[in-house]
Structure 1
Amino acid sequence: MLQFFSKYKFFGIVLLVLSVVIIFSIYQVLVPKKTLKIYQPSDVNASLVDSTLQYKKKYHSIGDFSLINQNGETITQEYYKDKIYIADFFFTTCVTICPVMTDHMVQIQKELKDKQDILLLSHTVTPEIDTVAQLKRYAVKKGVDDSKWNLVTGDKKQIYDLARKSYLAAKDVPYNEYDLVHTENFVLVDKKRRIRGFYDGTKPETIEQLLEDIKILEKEE
């Protein structure tokens, strides 16, 4: 009997390995991979979407831009080409939601410090106050990694159009020079400049969800 088992031991091991491989393959086929939704303007609360885009159901992406970061460098969409990134809107003199949001961005920066293809982008909504020098002081104070995170200023209308027409992150109201975008939204953008998620930047639990969603998105890309 022992001689019989010894003779067929190799075949038994091979059969076991093949069985495991087959079961795993079937599992992979039957269990769908997690993917993130691709958001279109029609998926978002109409109050957050420019009226010209409210019924758009496909092909939405972040528009081109040209802004200046905390180091006086021009930052365009090319800087984020083939990158995943998280965008938000803030201002350095804000004493309500912005400090909490910035602290959460710092947390995200720390969690993703070794991920070279994942970046951060924060737009000031008071560019008349948040000059390059002011953004630099704020960046140093908060521990911003210049290679990872751009704080940008520039033309106010361009920034507000980005918030409303590209990122779908702020209430759609007619633009005027006294306008103030004040939104808690963090927006997750993929390598094709598509919106893949919205997160309340003031809540720790949604930051954890954002980090988990980034892992899913990385597997998609």
Structure 2
Amino acid sequence: MFNIFSKSLLLALTIILCIGCQKNNNKSLPIYNPVDFNPVLVDETLQNKNHNHTVSNFTLINQNGDTITQEVYKNKIYVTDFFFTRCPTICPVMTDNMKLLQDKFINDSDIMFLSMSVTPNIDSIPVLRQYADEKGVIDSKWNVTTGDKKHIYQLARKSYFAVVDQGDGELQDFIHTPNFILVDKQKQIRGIYDGTDDNDINRLISDIKTLKK
């Protein structure tokens, strides 16, 4: 009787564990829309939008002087952030953590990275090239970009929601967050992470793997 009971208990525990594992394996990530963000980060025309948000097409220039558009990221999962090379506070930590992510997924061609300068008039191509070399950027994985400031401003306010509205895109208008934004192959936002926080970086790594499944 004891053996039958023990076997039944073991079977029940095994089933429970399998169900739990299946739930973890089937973990799905939310799809973020403008309404899910702090309104100060969202252009006022989009603050109440609660469905079907995708990031806009873009035209940027990377550390090699190459034009970077959505075509470069077509059918890719990517992480994006906003920074500037002269930032003495959060940007160095963010860049180090982006480098960590780059190295983590170095052999995965589905995963890429995109950084946009909020001071593109200062962050010229030569400046970005030097910055990329100093920070260990691998050109095929990670584009560190400059471009038209108002265009970047629009991307920040209407696509990725990572910059506080401070004006119309002039030199000192940008106050950016430490946010890393995870974008899926359908150009949907699937996660927001503090790019200076180790726990959030680990969560981001896990969520990238979830998207891969």
- With the length of structure 1 as denominator, give the TM-score of the two structures: 0.85
Q: Which residue of 2 aligns with 1:214?
A: 208
Structure 1 CA distance, aligned partners of 2:159 and 2:124?
Answer: 23
Q: Secondary structure at the match of 1:157?
A: helix
Out of 131, 146, 150, the residue aligned to residue 139 of structure 2 is 146
SS at match of 1:130: coil
1:196 aligns with 2:153: no
Residue 117 of structure 1 corresponds to 110
2:33 to 12, 34, 40: 40
Check the 8 A contact 2:164/2:174 in 1, yes or no.
no
1:172, distance to aligned residue in structure 2 (A): 3.0
Unaligned runs of 5+ in 1: 1-18
Aligned to 1:172: 165
Matched residue SS, 2:204: helix
TM-superposed deviation, 1:181: 3.1
Q: Unpaired runs of 5+ in structure 2? A: 1-10
Q: How far is 1:164 from its partner?
A: 1.0
Distance 2:117 2:42 in 1: 20
- 1:1-221 pair list within 5 angstroms: 27=19, 31=23, 33-177=26-170, 178-219=172-213
Contact 2:162 2:176 in 1 (8 A): no
Query: Counterparts of 2:46 and 2:74 in 1: how far apart (Å)?
Result: 24
Change in Cα spacing, 1:115 to 1:175, as seen in structure 2 (3 Å) is same
Contact 1:160 1:181 (C-alpha < 8 Å) held by counterparts: no
Cα distance between partner residues in 2 of 1:194 and 1:172: 22
* Higher CA-based Rg: 1
In the aligned structure 2, how far is the partner of 1:154 from the partner of 1:188?
A: 21
- Secondary structure at 2:192 match in 1: strand
Does the 8 Å contact 2:166/2:174 carry over to 1? no
Tell me the CA shift for residue 210 of structure 1. 0.3
Cα RMSD (Å) of the superposition? 2.1
Deviates more, 1:163-172 or 1:135-144: 163-172
Question: SS at 1:116's partner residue?
Answer: coil
Contact 1:87/1:121, CA 8 A, preserved across alignment: yes
Detail structure 1 runs of 4+ shifted over 4 Å in the superposition.
Answer: none
Q: For residue 5 of structure 2, what is the aligned residue in structure 1?
A: none
- 2:174 counterpart letter in structure 1: L
Contact 2:124/2:146, CA 8 A, preserved across alignment: yes
Matches of 2:99 and 2:74, distance apart in 1:
22
Cα drift, residue 176 of structure 1: 3.9
Identity in percent: 55
Give the TM-score, by structure 2 length: 0.88
